[in-house]
A and B are shown apart, each in its own frame.
Chain A
Amino acid sequence: MIFIIFVLIVIAIVVLGSLFLYLGFGIRWQIIPDERRIVFYNLIVPDEEKVVLHRLGQFRRIAGPGPVVLRWGEEVKHTIDVSHRARTVPVDNLYIKGVPFQYMIDIWYRVSPTECTDDPEELAHLAHLTSQERRRIIRSLVHDALSQSLYEAEQELEEGKPFLAKLVPILPGFPPNITLLERTFDRLAAMLPTAGVVLRPDRPIIISNLTLDTALGSEMSRDRMVQLLREQFPDLDDEMYLQAYAVIAGKSLPRTVIQSGNDTTVDFGLETNGEAKPRRVRSHGNRGQRTTKSDAATVDQPDQKSAAAEIIKDDDWHVMKELPAA
């Protein structure tokens, strides 16, 4: 009887020892009381990360996040950031109707090779891509997807439209551009898994910058500004419009006050998005006189007007607090 017990103990030691040898040294354990279980692990992988494991120099698997038990011979080769982030991707050499332009676009995605393929060889390849290599592939895929969507947009453009109207599909906020981005999104959702990357489905692509050929940009700006001047001063001649534009553009003043012979004053402001908007239109007794922002005497001061309109409610007085003691 004693002999049997002794044998059983020896077998238990051998089995447990083999288990530890197989699983690797350095096993730790943690009791999770609310889940009523014990968790064994060699390392804890933070949320938003995964680890690429090799065994004897060969890709083995991807593990994490959370507690990871290394099996016999496994070691961590490197870590992959799998968080959902917005990345800005510059895309140049784009064309629409022969007009070159560049985009900076923001795309929400995360690196997740395990979601992109079941094939072990493909998984190993995706896991071993460096961040630089992945970014290069993504940039190339984004360019391809955008180019294909731009081609479709060009086909849908009506013939006979003014030149600037043909650029509408690339201008952010316009419906043709929204369609362009949606199509690009769908293409990328299918293409990006080849780089081990998954798009975030609830985050659309956003254009953070559009760069046109500089001469073309100036052309648009001039046309738009002259159009605004025409609307406000319908009785001026063409030379006056161009002269006024030259003043606004040449001085680079974001605010310029123009007074016309018909006693109308328009205070032009340039918004941060580059739009020139008439801010205030007033009738004056002054004739044919151009002023700038520095001529305060002829321009209503916004501070005086709005100070008079300042209304403070009881709740407002409680916003400011005393500094807490150090």
Chain B
Amino acid sequence: MTNTGTPRYAATYRQQEINRICHSARIGESLCLIGVAGTGKSNITNFLHSDPYSYKPQYLGRDAGSIHFPVIDGNTWNQTPEGLWTQMLDALADTTAHLNTPPPDPKIVQLYADQSIFSKLKAQVRSLCQQHGQRLMFILDDFDTVIHTGPLDMLEQFSALRNDGNRDLLSFLVFTKRLPSILERVHGKGESSKFYDLFSNNIFALGLYNADDVHQMLQYLNESAGRPLRSQEMVQIKTLCGGHARLLKLVFDLWRTTPPDSANTVAYFGEKPDIRNECRRILQGLHEQEQDVALRIAQGTNSPEDNAVIDHLIRRGLLENTGRWVWFSPLFEQYLRMA
């Protein structure tokens, strides 16, 4: 599959989100974006970290070269503090390879391995931020498991990193599928942690793609395809998937390889295992109470007690009230009805 024309995403891709992220990175403010599985987070991290199409200067101007976004993937964490600090060090080294950072002081030998690595990380961050005048926003991607597993004092070290003279220069962008306050409640601390306090005032919903982003993505996929689809087919795909990035890709690929043989495309694609798996992934990524309410809405048995959760699902971009409750995708609605 090759594409020499249409970029994967346009300069206006996720404009609201990127604008807010870049603004926060500039002022050293942390934030958390909560999005369902498959909502296109990898494109955001790619945009910020690698910027393959050089769009960042339109948001960061002259600061584009001095604000860095190292990425840490929570899915590859080995469930140890040492592993997390190593990931962060590696991500930092990868992002700022062009900047000289001092070697560790050979006279100082830490008692324990994870303290040693954290010390190195702290020294690197301090050097980059305070001596080289750079700004760092660590992207903590798919961080649900890390927050949930802890331990809490490992998470609170993020605050310590910032308090090491880096307050306006270091920040974190946390991606989760669930509310971080609920994830960390398992640690049993009655009040919120210093980690949560970093971004507690900036927890936002990462909604689905808008019409422009959907259009761009489908154009990109279509241009890369050996046998492009027609415009009417693309319109139908947009309606089926409702802005969910992974569903768009799945339905597009399926349509190309095994086009629907009937006008009822919802029923046709709704039975496909890949689509069902993706819908399951979306549903299971929600909180249990969200899942329960979603199923009740699909069955038409929701009650006024569900209103708080319904508002939450609307803010996530999954649900819309048009006189009746409408899900973002008819495929997802069918999945819920059959679940």
Report A's interface with B, CB cutoff 8 A.
90, 92, 102, 104, 209-212, 214, 217, 220-221, 252-255, 269-274, 293, 302-303, 306-307, 309-310, 312, 314, 316-326
* Chain B: CB-nearest residue to A303: B148
Given known A-B contacts A254-B81, A272-B151, A312-B179, A320 and B114 have beta carbons under 8 A apart: no
Pick the residue among B16, B105, B111 that contacts A217 (CB under 8 A). Answer: B111
Q: Inside 8 A of B139's CB, which chain A residues have their CB?
A: none
Report B's interface with A, CB cutoff 8 A.
15-17, 19-20, 34, 79-82, 105, 107-115, 118-119, 145, 148-149, 151, 153-154, 157, 179, 181-182, 185-186, 200, 203-205, 207, 287-289, 308-309, 311-312, 315-316
B112, A310: Cβ atoms closer than 8 Å: no
Given known A-B contacts A271-B151, A306-B148, A320-B312, A209 and B204 have beta carbons under 8 A apart: no
A209, B203: Cβ atoms closer than 8 Å: no
Given known A-B contacts A320-B203, A320-B204, A255 and B153 have beta carbons under 8 A apart: no
* Chain B: CB-nearest residue to A92: B107
> CA of A269 to CA of B153 in the docked complex: distance in angstroms?
13
B108, A209: Cβ atoms closer than 8 Å: yes
Interface centre among A303, A318, A322, A325 (most CB of B within 10 A): A322
A272, B315: Cβ atoms closer than 8 Å: no
* Chain B: CB-nearest residue to A252: B113
B111, A210: Cβ atoms closer than 8 Å: yes
Number of A-B residue pairs at CB separation under 8 A: 114
B79, A319: Cβ atoms closer than 8 Å: no
Pick the residue among B80, B110, B179 that contacts A254 (CB under 8 A). Answer: B80
What are the 7 closest A-B residue pairs judged by CB atoms, nearest first? A274-B112, A306-B186, A326-B19, A254-B80, A317-B308, A317-B312, A217-B111
Given known A-B contacts A252-B113, A254-B114, A317 and B311 have beta carbons under 8 A apart: yes
B108, A102: Cβ atoms closer than 8 Å: yes
Pick the residue among B79, B111, B118, B315 that contacts A293 (CB under 8 A). Answer: B79
Q: Inside 8 A of B118's CB, which chain A residues have their CB?
A: 272
What's the nearest-Cβ distance from chain B to residue A100, in Å? 11
> CA of A285 to CA of B316 in the docked complex: distance in angstroms?
45
B107, A102: Cβ atoms closer than 8 Å: yes
> CA of A210 to CA of B108 in the docked complex: distance in angstroms?
9
What's the nearest-Cβ distance from chain A to residue B307, in Å? 9
> CA of A233 to CA of B79 in the docked complex: distance in angstroms?
26
B111, A321: Cβ atoms closer than 8 Å: no
What's the nearest-Cβ distance from chain A to residue B124, in Å? 15
A312, B186: Cβ atoms closer than 8 Å: no
> CA of A270 to CA of B83 in the docked complex: distance in angstroms?
13
A211, B203: Cβ atoms closer than 8 Å: no
Q: Inside 8 A of B186's CB, which chain A residues have their CB?
A: 302, 306, 309-310
B157, A272: Cβ atoms closer than 8 Å: yes
What's the nearest-Cβ distance from chain B to residue A281, in Å? 17
* Chain B: CB-nearest residue to A87: B165
> CA of A195 to CA of B34 in the docked complex: distance in angstroms?
52
A270, B112: Cβ atoms closer than 8 Å: yes
A316, B19: Cβ atoms closer than 8 Å: no
Given known A-B contacts A102-B107, A323-B20, A274 and B205 have beta carbons under 8 A apart: no
Q: Inside 8 A of B15's CB, which chain A residues have their CB?
A: 326
A320, B34: Cβ atoms closer than 8 Å: yes
* Chain A: CB-nearest residue to B178: A310
> CA of A326 to CA of B19 in the docked complex: distance in angstroms?
6
Pick the residue among A255, A272, A307, A309 that contacts B115 (CB under 8 A). Answer: A272
B182, A316: Cβ atoms closer than 8 Å: yes
> CA of A209 to CA of B164 in the docked complex: distance in angstroms?
14
* Chain B: CB-nearest residue to A302: B149
B181, A319: Cβ atoms closer than 8 Å: yes
> CA of A255 to CA of B154 in the docked complex: distance in angstroms?
14
Interface centre among A303, A307, A316 (most CB of B within 10 A): A316
Q: Inside 8 A of A320's CB, which chain B residues have their CB?
A: 34, 179, 203-205, 312, 315-316
Q: Inside 8 A of B105's CB, which chain A residues have their CB?
A: 90
Beyond A272-B151, A320-B315, 19 additional pairs, beta carbon < 8 A: A90-B108, A210-B111, A211-B108, A217-B109, A220-B111, A255-B79, A270-B112, A274-B111, A274-B114, A303-B148, A306-B148, A306-B186, A316-B182, A319-B179, A319-B203, A321-B315, A322-B207, A322-B315, A324-B20
Q: Inside 8 A of B111's CB, which chain A residues have their CB?
A: 210-212, 217, 220-221, 274
Interface centre among A272, A309, A316, A317 (most CB of B within 10 A): A272
> CA of A324 to CA of B204 in the docked complex: distance in angstroms?
9
Q: Inside 8 A of B205's CB, which chain A residues have their CB?
A: 320-323
* Chain A: CB-nearest residue to B187: A306
> CA of A310 to CA of B181 in the docked complex: distance in angstroms?
11
> CA of A90 to CA of B119 in the docked complex: distance in angstroms?
14
Q: Inside 8 A of A214's CB, which chain B residues have their CB?
A: 109
What's the nearest-Cβ distance from chain B to residue A195, in Å? 21
Given known A-B contacts A270-B114, A323-B16, A314 and B203 have beta carbons under 8 A apart: no
What's the nearest-Cβ distance from chain B to residue A93, in Å? 10
> CA of A274 to CA of B17 in the docked complex: distance in angstroms?
39
Given known A-B contacts A303-B148, A310-B182, A318 and B153 have beta carbons under 8 A apart: no
B179, A316: Cβ atoms closer than 8 Å: yes
Q: Inside 8 A of A310's CB, which chain B residues have their CB?
A: 182, 185-186, 287-288
Pick the residue among A104, A220, A326 that contacts B108 (CB under 8 A). Answer: A104
> CA of A320 to CA of B207 in the docked complex: distance in angstroms?
12
Q: Inside 8 A of A254's CB, which chain B residues have their CB?
A: 79-82, 114
